[in-house]
Structure 1
């Protein structure tokens, strides 16, 4: 909601309140001005508002039930006033933040409209506010039914209009949905409660009111406790499901993608980030999420963040905004974050990272949220470590430990995959061998020979880039697979590689002389192209290798030869 809309709502609310309450007092003045009665009913309103509960996502407030009783006892003016007080108490328990304060005038206007409409319909249907005496059967239920029906209809019209005109357009607004059904059920379950409340007050006074109020409030408390327990169970079920999904992933990127996708759906989150403490002296942010997609870069300093305290203590921290102690979070949220939750990520008894959530709402996180996020933090730590270990093992199985290029095993799998791909119309391969490599080893030692192999690998990466797959075939031989390149393009690439190696010297260290020396190295290359030169990976490699030895090595080295 824009600032203009919020200001309009507040201004409208102020004008309506200033006009409506004096008018209601004039038209329907209080019929009972007993201070004890007013205070007692007001306290009941407050208590019932405090102990609202949810059913299928809909807030149920027993406040709806005693509205009729308050109207019959005191009249419209005091009933509307008490309802306003009750809904204010209710909203205060919803932990609304600064950006959601507009909900106060919106709900105030809605319940004011409900009070006025319900009273008007009650009077129009012939309802009276006199005491009903000792015979409940003499009550005319038609006005009472009209009172509750008007309450429900005006409430729904107000909610529909609000969603239609003020909320972001996220799709078609439904008039009837699952929550609407629960609203209908709750509204008409309140009707006998309101009648009973008024009846007991009529025949017994304040003691009679307490006879109904006490069990009514007690029932609300019991249902709220049960409801909170069920919410915790449902939340922990989501936590467990997410934890299982995280540990099934074998890629650290996929683990983080899944985590940052699911957590904002489970819990109020406007800011979410993970700080890795695998290197305690150099902690770093692994991933950061901001709901508003803010792009302002905030440099991370461990001393400025809550994660350092959580890492050192190994315990979660939950609280409100603290600019002086945690300036990183304050800067990240541009001062908007009002509550935060930070939990350690434990792996084998050690804190390897810290997970921090923050929200623009006040008191956004509960004890159940803390418990659940601690569990998720541990699941996340396990998932990331498993993925990291898997990636290390995968790299070790696919990479040459000396040059960090792909190895022979990976090369053969890649070639087999390309050969079986119908979309791969043409592709080529380069086989290359370092000239006179044995002489380098014999003259300067195997350490210098390894340095030459590493240097050749670096120049291959610089020249080929992402245009091909580079592998160490074995010894001093290397292979380059070039998808989509025909014979001529392959030959041009091979020539570029040859020049890149031959044009610049390599630096080696002469250990017994304690000095560095520059030496020039050349390579011989052979090319082969599929499907013209070969029908399978083995034949393609053999033909390129044959071209290298017969067309390049035997013809003087430091040259490129193609298979013919």
Structure 2
């Protein structure tokens, strides 16, 4: 309601401005016409008046501040001056016989634009009086001729006002729709900027739903993406909970013929009445949806999902709304592509290029974060540090490519041996680390021993010579209070394992010889 009132206020203001603009332009035309009409037959007072009026009009037309004053304060004085000039023109060019009598119709038509009969009659009367006065002053007064021309003025005003009144509501409706469309496009532009700058999927989905509902608040919106099984899964929506449960039992599938338009031709599916589509009736049998519109969400040239727009009543979307919703779905695809690219870049920044494990930078961030978490929660956090024994000798003997291959193999074995959720990273060179959440010293020692045994048991067919690991273990809060002391304890334990013969797991001075290995 408020938006409609604003549109009307803006339209009325624009209308007033346009009338004043027309007045300024017509005044310039009148001034020039007056000079031409005078020609070479006028006296100096004629020229003085004509050029003064032209200067006056140019002044009001070219100075922005005066144009605004002309709109707010001096409208009626300016119109009065224009009428005097028109009367003077008629007097100087023959009165009733003047060829410039058509200027008398202009104010009447302007009154007709306002669709007010009283205004038309008033202006027609004023123009008739001006015509009669000019005729009298020039000696061309003829009552019958004046009455005929006055009748023309009244008829022109009334007929023009009638025609304008018939067309004005249509123009007003079109103007209002254009204003609403412009408002929607501005919101769409704002939506585009918001989603393109976001890297959070939940925020993106939420903004998509809000943008679609701004088009029509009565619409029901769902954002969907295809999962690995080809099901069109709802990720966020304005649907009721029971509708979501009903849809999950019979979701749209990638292979459904219903989705052929969006998958093959990338065109939206527009269904004003799903009762005419047996496949849609089957899927939405338990959901009170009467109309369904599906707009493809395209990511990296592939249809990754769809924007589902539905209504509980039969509905035909206007073409303008179809275009805007298609644009929203398109912007959603761009936003999802940006998120995917951002995640890919982040993954590359966090990953060691040789082994595919997390790199030291990521490890440093994560260990800091998890140490704070463990201290706040009062939980155990263990760290395993390991080093490939005699790696320099292996590298010097078999070459750097063989050494790189060895590190890749060890990284793979360690990743396969630890638990899901444990964080494995390459610490540097031939050193690797594992962060274990919710793990005490005993659990960490058991996992470390499994890693040591797995690496030592690798067949020679894979490697050029037997390989072993020396491993150090530290646990917070048992052995350390913070990140630095935990790293220092684990590193010192690794040093003890190296110094005591290698191929061992050490936790301070304790070795795994007394701890059973659980497979």
User: Shorter-chain TM-score: what band?
Assistant: 0.5 to 0.7
Residue 496 of structure 1: aligned partner:
446
Is the Cα–Cα contact under 8 Å of residues 306 and 342 in structure 1 kept in the other structure?
A: no
What is the CA-CA distance between 1:545 and the residue it aligns to?
1.2
Is the Cα–Cα contact under 8 Å of residues 526 and 563 in structure 1 kept in the other structure?
A: no
Q: What is the alpha-carbon distance in structure 2 between the residues aligned to residue 511 and residue 543 of structure 1?
A: 33
1:358 matched to 2:318? The reply is: no
What is the CA-CA distance between 1:391 and the residue it aligns to?
0.3
Instruction: Indicate the structure whose relative CO is greater, using CA pairs within 8 Å and at least 6 residues apart.
Output: 1
Residue 188 of structure 2: aligned partner:
239
What is the CA-CA distance between 1:265 and the residue it aligns to?
5.1
1:228 matched to 2:180? The reply is: no
**Unpaired stretches in structure 2, ≥5 consecutive residues:** 6-159, 511-519
Q: What is the alpha-carbon distance in structure 2 between the residues aligned to residue 212 and residue 337 of structure 1?
A: 48
* Superposed CA offset, 1:437-471 (max 9, x none): 85999899665763442131132233xx3xx6543
Q: What is the alpha-carbon distance in structure 2 between the residues aligned to residue 379 and residue 385 of structure 1?
A: 10
SS of residue paired to 1:545: helix
Q: Describe the shift of the 1:310–1:232 C-alpha distance in structure 2 as closer, same or farther (beyond 3 A).
A: same
Is the Cα–Cα contact under 8 Å of residues 339 and 365 in structure 1 kept in the other structure?
A: no
SS of residue paired to 2:314: coil
Is the Cα–Cα contact under 8 Å of residues 340 and 365 in structure 1 kept in the other structure?
A: no
Residue 559 of structure 1: aligned partner:
505
2:343 to 383, 391, 405: 391
Residue 266 of structure 2: aligned partner:
314
Residue 330 of structure 2: aligned partner:
378
Q: What is the alpha-carbon distance in structure 1 between the residues aligned to residue 222 and residue 232 of structure 2?
A: 14
TM-score normalized by the length of structure 1? 0.50
Q: Describe the shift of the 1:508–1:448 C-alpha distance in structure 2 as closer, same or farther (beyond 3 A).
A: farther
Q: What is the alpha-carbon distance in structure 2 between the residues aligned to residue 448 and residue 536 of structure 1?
A: 30
Q: What is the alpha-carbon distance in structure 2 between the residues aligned to residue 300 and residue 562 of structure 1?
A: 58
1:287 matched to 2:235? The reply is: yes
Q: What is the alpha-carbon distance in structure 1 between the residues aligned to residue 186 and residue 435 of structure 2?
A: 48
* Superposed CA offset, 1:57-102 (max 9, x none): 69xxxxxxxxxxxxxxxxxxxxxxxxxxxxxxxxxxxxxxxxxxxx
| RMSD, aligned CA | 4.8
Q: What is the alpha-carbon distance in structure 1 between the residues aligned to residue 379 and residue 306 of structure 2?
A: 49
What is the CA-CA distance between 1:408 and the residue it aligns to?
0.3
Q: Describe the shift of the 1:331–1:528 C-alpha distance in structure 2 as closer, same or farther (beyond 3 A).
A: closer
Is the Cα–Cα contact under 8 Å of residues 226 and 232 in structure 2 kept in the other structure?
A: yes
Residue 515 of structure 2: aligned partner:
none
1:457 to 376, 390, 415: 415
The total of aligned residue pairs comes to: 346
Q: What is the alpha-carbon distance in structure 2 between the residues aligned to residue 309 and residue 508 of structure 1?
A: 55
Instruction: For 1:86-485, list aligned pairs within 5 A.
Output: 219-260=168-209, 262-264=211-213, 266-267=215-216, 268-275=218-225, 285=233, 287=235, 289=237, 291-293=239-241, 294-296=244-246, 297-304=249-256, 306-322=258-274, 327-328=279-280, 331-332=283-284, 334=286, 336-346=288-298, 353-363=305-315, 365-400=317-352, 405-416=357-368, 423=376, 428-433=381-386, 436=389, 438=391, 447=405, 450-462=408-420, 465=421, 469-481=423-435
**Unpaired stretches in structure 1, ≥5 consecutive residues:** 1-53, 59-210, 513-518
SS of residue paired to 2:185: helix
Residue 547 of structure 1: aligned partner:
493
